[in-house]
Structure 1
């Protein structure tokens, strides 16, 4: 039982998502990202649907409804699935099956899509959208603000155990790819990990694109 938020930054062109749940290792099961879209498969999730969604998005020329349809058509027992697509441009698409546990559904913002099931209140998803929209700064920090607001508004009905945060940057390199696989407070630990990572992220981008001019490991770790 899961709540997630996908968001985009029109200023930088970046896409990202954050997700938290009451089971372990959510980053291995929920969410995938490409240069042009974020896709979700959650509730009784099937990670195989992610690549089906991305392929459907690309094959349709960037149509989120076509991507969603491809995932839903490929899903075993789609009534148990919660699916979502946030494109780089345009409106998101989403599906919540009839067997998903209440509170469940989706909330859509100008540049964001929130999905959730087995939530502690009906205000969780709107709170995530509102916090993301109001936040400033790096896209990852805005996504973290969104998931924190969802937790404060009711979270889900069981204690959270894991979280994941991913942001795709330019050149098809992830600027952020963080996981808390098991914790009594995964969103708090995600915030600590993100604060440690963000000052170091540009150096690792240089290592990928221009290794001759990349800083040393000691220089990176001192940031």
Structure 2
């Protein structure tokens, strides 16, 4: 039902995840990240509780592999779960339980991992990871994640039609730098890319407006001078 990418930007230290699925509101259930800590994708027959729990484990010093093993060992019904976990060092660990749906696969490299289930073919995660690694590291992490998802889609994507997608990126603050979602659409990855085009040029301005409004750019609304 789902394929995803988790990644760390070696240049900025940002963590991010992009995910798409045939089911609605995938990012609200599957995507979890915390600044300075890491990122977790909890998917297949999803248990959203595993995302915050995994981040807490890594915040307490667990590696990605230790985090994954703890979630599999202590979480209910691990045979139904698919996980991708990345720690603050950019090391990733994955899990696909025995009852992961359909054609499923994972791919792991330094600073990036991809996992999917009910895929059109088992090469999709490899295509996602290779596209991320081939992208320009000077670009925003969100741009690189979306290009990787497009590569996964071109490689076949999910076996059925995609309906939702999401992009979550954390930087230095306790809130997300980017949290964009398409919860029901016939072309959710394309719509997500459209949203990113609108959001990306101004996303850092919103951080400045929070931390130091006096130095923030004009708001661009009627009456603002």
Q: What corresponds to 1:146 in structure 2?
A: 148
Q: Distance in 1 between matches of 2:173 and 2:53?
A: 22
Q: What corresponds to 2:189 in structure 1?
A: 187
Q: Which runs of 5+ in 2 are unaligned?
A: none
TM-score by length of 1: 0.93
Q: Distance in 2 between matches of 1:50 and 1:10?
A: 22
Q: What corresponds to 1:3 in structure 2?
A: 3
8 Å CA contact retained: 1:15, 1:167 = yes
SS in 2 for 1:20: strand
Q: Distance in 2 between matches of 1:128 and 1:203?
A: 30
8 Å CA contact retained: 1:81, 1:96 = yes
TM-score by length of 2: 0.93
CA RMSD, 1 decimal: 1.5
8 Å CA contact retained: 1:107, 1:125 = yes
8 Å CA contact retained: 1:55, 1:67 = no
Q: What corresponds to 1:74 in structure 2?
A: 74
Residue 194 of structure 1, CA deviation? 0.2
42-51 vs 99-108, greater mean Cα deviation: 99-108
Aligned pairs for 1:21-170 (under 5 A) are 21-35=21-35, 36-59=37-60, 61-136=61-136, 137-170=139-172
Q: Distance in 1 between matches of 2:156 and 2:141?
A: 23
Deviations 1:110-160 (A, max 9, x none): 220101001001110100001111112111000001111111101111100
Residue 99 of structure 1, CA deviation? 0.8
108-117 vs 166-175, greater mean Cα deviation: 166-175
Residue 186 of structure 1, CA deviation? 0.2
Residue 11 of structure 1, CA deviation? 0.9
8 Å CA contact retained: 2:90, 2:112 = no
Q: Distance in 2 between matches of 1:70 and 1:55?
A: 12
Deviations 1:77-135 (A, max 9, x none): 11110012111214211110011123212101222010100100111010000111111
Q: Distance in 2 between matches of 1:91 and 1:213?
A: 37
